């Protein structure tokens, strides 16, 4: 049987977004980045809300073909993971391309 693992980032004081709703993510240092890479490689499907899906589309960009190896490793793992987007209103962009 598969396991469901819930994971998210938040500040030490419990916030997941800034006062204006911005969900800009911090750039993780090496050890934390490796942890995220390992976690993504072990993920079968990542369920995302619309704003997280839009923020993470960065990793699908052709620009991610160059850069630090640790970032390229995450981009590869991200691209290999199924990522449906859940939102209140569905439109053409509601699911990742190809779904």
Residue 85 pLDDT greater than 90, yes or no: no
* Residues 12-44: tens digit of each pLDDT: 888 777 788 777 767 788 899 999 999 999 998
Rounded Cα distance, 94 and 99, in Å: 10
Q: Give the domain ranges of the chain.
A: 1-99
> Dihedrals φ, ψ of 45, to 5°?
-150, 135
State the Cα torsion 47-51-56-58 to the nearest 10°: 150
| Distance of alpha carbon 79 from the chain centroid | 10
Q: Is the pTM of this model over 0.85?
A: no
Question: Residue 25's pLDDT is what?
Answer: 66
């Amino acid at each position: 049987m598969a396991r469901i693992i819930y994971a998210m980032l938040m500040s030490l004081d419990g916030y997941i977004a800034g006062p204006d709703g911005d969900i800009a993510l911090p750039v993780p240092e090496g050890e934390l980045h490796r942890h995220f890479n390992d976690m993504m490689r072990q993920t079968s499907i990542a369920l995302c809300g619309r704003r997280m899906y839009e923020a993470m589309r960065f990793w699908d960009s052709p620009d991610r073909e160059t850069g630090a190896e640790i970032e390229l490793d995450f981009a590869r793992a991200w691209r290999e993971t199924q990522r449906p987007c859940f939102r209140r209103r569905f439109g053409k962009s509601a699911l990742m391309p190809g779904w």
